[in-house]
């Protein structure tokens, strides 16, 4: 249950995790454990979505999963929920991992601290997307409506990837 307490990731810290093709955690680094307030024994073998915050739009996760399952990488802003109820925002870079025959054998994610100015845009946008999802009683309708809103906003910036990077480019000095 969310407590409203926000935990922040250090500027030079990276959260790293790996999953199998079904999203089951197979590796996490110490920063993942500290930020999520879980132990390694509590997370390994569990679905990565165990840290999913209820205020994270489902349409963003659908876009993420559709993209990585197609063999492509994605960058996305994500709010996660720690085991203690605290939340933390990240800019996630998720990539598929390929086996020798070219098949996807899992996924690798690095997460870093998001740009604070970008968060001034992402927080209200995600609030709108979640509100739209909650307006619909049927999950398929909720997903379609919030996905349309996300695409409308991203398309105005030239597509989802450009939208994300336009927000990150607000950072003074870049990264």
Tell me the CATH number at 26.
Answer: 3.30.450.20
Q: For residue 108, with 0-12 CB atoms within 10 Å meaning exposed, 13-18 middle and 19 or more buried, which class applies?
A: middle
Question: What pTM did the predictor assign?
Answer: 0.91
Residue whose entry in the numeric block shows the structure tokens 């996630």: 92
Give domain status of residue 81, yes or no.
yes
Give domain status of residue 173, yes or no.
no
Per-residue pLDDT at 48: 95
Per-residue pLDDT at 175: 44
Q: Which of 28-32, 39-43, 102-106, 163-167 has the lowest mean pLDDT?
A: 163-167
Structural domain total, the chain: 1
Per-residue pLDDT at 171: 56
Give domain status of residue 104, yes or no.
yes
Q: Give the domain range for residue 57.
A: 15-168
Give domain status of residue 174, yes or no.
no
Q: CB–CB of 114/122 below 8 Å?
A: yes
| pLDDT level of residue 73 (50, 70, 90 thresholds) | very high
Instruction: Give the model confidence (pLDDT) of 100-133 as tens digits.
Output: 999 999 999 999 999 989 999 999 999 999 999 9
Per-residue pLDDT at 83: 96
- How many angstroms from the chain centroid is the CA of residue 13? 16
Instruction: Give the model confidence (pLDDT) of 95-104 as tens digits.
Output: 999 999 999 9
List, in order, residues 6 or more apart from 146 with CB less than 8 Å away: 57, 58, 59, 129, 130, 132, 133
Handedness of CA 44, 47, 48, 50 (dihedral sign): negative
């Amino acid at each position: 249950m969310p407590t409203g307490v926000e935990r922040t990731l250090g500027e030079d810290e990276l959260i790293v995790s790996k999953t199998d093709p079904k999203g089951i955690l197979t590796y996490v680094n110490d920063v993942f454990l500290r930020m999520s307030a879980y132990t390694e024994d509590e997370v390994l073998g569990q679905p990565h979505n165990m840290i999913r915050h209820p205020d994270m739009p489902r349409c963003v996760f659908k876009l993420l999963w559709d993209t990585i399952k197609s063999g492509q990488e994605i960058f996305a802003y994500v709010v996660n929920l720690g085991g203690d109820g605290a939340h933390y925002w990240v800019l996630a870079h998720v990539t598929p991992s390929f086996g020798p025959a070219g098949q996807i054998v899992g996924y690798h994610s690095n997460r870093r601290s998001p740009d604070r100015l970008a968060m001034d845009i992402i927080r209200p946008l995600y609030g709108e997307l979640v509100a739209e999802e909650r307006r619909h009683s049927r999950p398929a309708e909720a997903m379609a409506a919030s996905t349309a809103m996300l695409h409308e906003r991203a398309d105005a910036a030239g597509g989802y990837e450009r939208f994300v990077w336009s927000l990150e480019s607000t950072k003074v000095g870049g990264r």
